């Protein structure tokens, strides 16, 4: 068995250094439309310069602006601009051999459209969101079955802070939902905030047939005016602004009470304007006021589903006791033809 002579440590170090030097020299002399090292340095310098410029801009914005929404928009906008400029400059550096940069982007986009259908659709959705503005950061929206406040918009998805679901009255659940941008093309989108900045909310109040429903209706109207009437002027201004872009018009913006009849009593429905994020708070204030006012009215009672049994013997329709509200009694025994009988269980 013949063994090769072992190299000393200094000789091994010299060999390794010579190998690295030769490899580095080979990379430097490699021509890819220009010096590899030069292209690499120019690319790094471009990216670093754009990053520094963006950081300086954001620091100046944070120093002068207190509104977090404006800061967020500046952060997103400068990020998009820096990324786009960096991509264009780096591509121009590394692909100098391609005479027409448009040809390169055309071939690239055609390949991406075939191989990456969904991401391309999400990118188109992002462009649509920025261009048409169906919603903006901070808006409350519902898209498909999901609803929430928009907290972030990115190239391929936007993020909602969820409301509703198992929580009543459009309150936050605390969950964060990421939705692909392409969904804006395929499912209905509702914006709580854009255009007309208020919502119509309705509170149904059911009183018995025996109650003084006219007095109850007057109380509801007073409560509605107390809680929501101050919004009417602001809502009118908002409607005038919205009517410049959309055909939105309401002849009446003050609270109103509608009357109808339900199975268990008279249904009074209070309809009023409220801000999207104050629907639960205004509803609570109205209900507390209504409960206090109705408690002081002996002629007003809340209605709820009940069953009434009338026991007694009678021989004709005129003998049946009247139902609540003065309605005449029913057919004897519940059998057409006036056959004597019983209503309810006969006495023992």
Over residues 243-271, the pLDDT tens digits come to 777 777 777 888 899 999 988 899 999 99
Tally of domains within the chain = 3
User: What letter would DSSP give residue 192?
Assistant: S
208 and 283 co-located in one domain: yes
Q: Residue 114, exposed/middle/buried by CB under 10 A (0-12, 13-18, 19+)?
A: exposed
**268, 295, 322 - which closes a domain:** 295
Helix (H) or strand (E) run with residue 108 in it = helix 101-115
Q: How confident is the model at residue 60 (pLDDT cuts 50, 70, 90)?
A: confident
What percent of the chain has pLDDT above 90? 27
**273, 295, 317 - which closes a domain:** 295
What is this structure's pTM?
0.59
Q: How confident is the model at residue 299 (pLDDT cuts 50, 70, 90)?
A: very high
Largest CA distance in the chain: 130
pLDDT, position 168: 77
Whether the CB-CB separation of 208 and 301 falls below 8 Å is answered with: yes
Question: Is 144 inside a domain boundary?
Answer: yes
215 and 155 co-located in one domain: no
Whether the CB-CB separation of 118 and 186 falls below 8 Å is answered with: no
Q: Could you tell me which residues are beta bridge partners of residue 158?
A: 153, 179
Question: Is 78 inside a domain boundary?
Answer: yes
244 and 290 co-located in one domain: yes
Domain of residue 161: give its range: 128-191
210 and 290 co-located in one domain: yes
Question: Is 333 inside a domain boundary?
Answer: no
**Looking at per-residue confidence, does 134 or 330 come out higher?**
134
Question: Is 160 inside a domain boundary?
Answer: yes
Place of tokens 């649509």: 128
What percent of the chain has pLDDT above 70? 71
pLDDT, position 245: 74
Helix (H) or strand (E) run with residue 314 in it = strand 313-314
204 and 187 co-located in one domain: no
CATH of the domain at 251: 3.30.70.100
Q: Residue 129, exposed/middle/buried by CB under 10 A (0-12, 13-18, 19+)?
A: middle
d(CA 299, CA 218): 13
Mean pLDDT is highest, among 78-82, 134-138, 233-237, 266-270, for 266-270
- pLDDT tens, 195-229? 788 888 999 999 999 999 999 999 999 999 888 76
- pLDDT tens, 144-153? 899 999 998 9
45 and 105 co-located in one domain: yes
What average pLDDT does range 37-47 have in this prediction? 78
Question: Is 10 inside a domain boundary?
Answer: no
Question: Is 205 inside a domain boundary?
Answer: yes
134 and 208 co-located in one domain: no
d(CA 218, CA 122): 53
pLDDT, position 342: 42
Question: Is 23 inside a domain boundary?
Answer: no
Question: Does residue 89 have a pLDDT over 60?
Answer: yes
Classify the phi-psi angles of 309: left when phi > 0, otherwise alpha if psi is within -120 to 50, otherwise beta.
beta
232 and 286 co-located in one domain: yes
Question: Is 69 inside a domain boundary?
Answer: yes
109 and 63 co-located in one domain: yes
């Amino acid at each position: 068995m013949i063994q090769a002579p072992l190299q000393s440590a200094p000789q091994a170090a010299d060999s390794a250094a010579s190998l690295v030097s030769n490899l580095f020299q080979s990379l430097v002399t490699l021509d890819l439309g220009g010096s590899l090292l030069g292209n690499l340095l120019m690319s790094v310098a471009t990216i670093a310069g754009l990053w520094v410029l963006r950081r300086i801009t954001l620091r100046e914005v944070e120093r002068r602006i207190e509104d977090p929404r404006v800061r967020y928009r500046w952060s997103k906008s400068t990020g998009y601009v820096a990324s786009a400029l960096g991509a264009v400059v780096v591509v121009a550096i590394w692909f100098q051999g391609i005479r027409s940069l448009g040809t390169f982007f055309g071939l690239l986009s055609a390949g991406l459209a075939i191989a990456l259908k969904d991401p391309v659709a999400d990118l188109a959705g992002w462009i649509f969101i920025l261009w048409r503005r169906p919603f903006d950061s901070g808006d409350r929206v519902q898209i498909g079955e999901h609803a929430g406040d928009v907290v972030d918009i990115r190239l391929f998805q936007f993020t909602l802070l969820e409301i509703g679901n198992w929580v009543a009255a459009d309150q936050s659940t605390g969950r964060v939902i990421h939705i692909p941008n392409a969904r804006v093309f395929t499912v209905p989108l509702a914006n709580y905030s854009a255009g007309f900045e208020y919502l119509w909310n309705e509170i149904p109040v059911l009183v018995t047939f025996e109650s003084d429903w006219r007095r109850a209706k007057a109380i509801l109207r007073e409560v509605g005016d107390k809680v929501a009437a101050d919004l009417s002027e602001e809502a009118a201004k908002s409607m005038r602004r919205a009517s410049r872009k959309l055909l939105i018009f309401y002849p009446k913006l003050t609270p109103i009470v509608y009357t109808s009849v339900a199975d268990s009593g008279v249904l009074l429905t209070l309809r009023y304007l409220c801000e999207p994020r104050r629907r639960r708070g205004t509803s609570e204030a109205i209900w507390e006021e209504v409960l206090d006012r109705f408690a002081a009215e002996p002629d007003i009672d809340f209605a709820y589903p009940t069953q009434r049994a009338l026991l007694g013997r009678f021989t004709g329709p005129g003998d049946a006791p009247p139902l609540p509200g003065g309605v005449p009694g029913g057919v004897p025994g519940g059998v057409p033809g006036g056959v004597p009988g019983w209503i309810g269980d006969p006495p023992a």
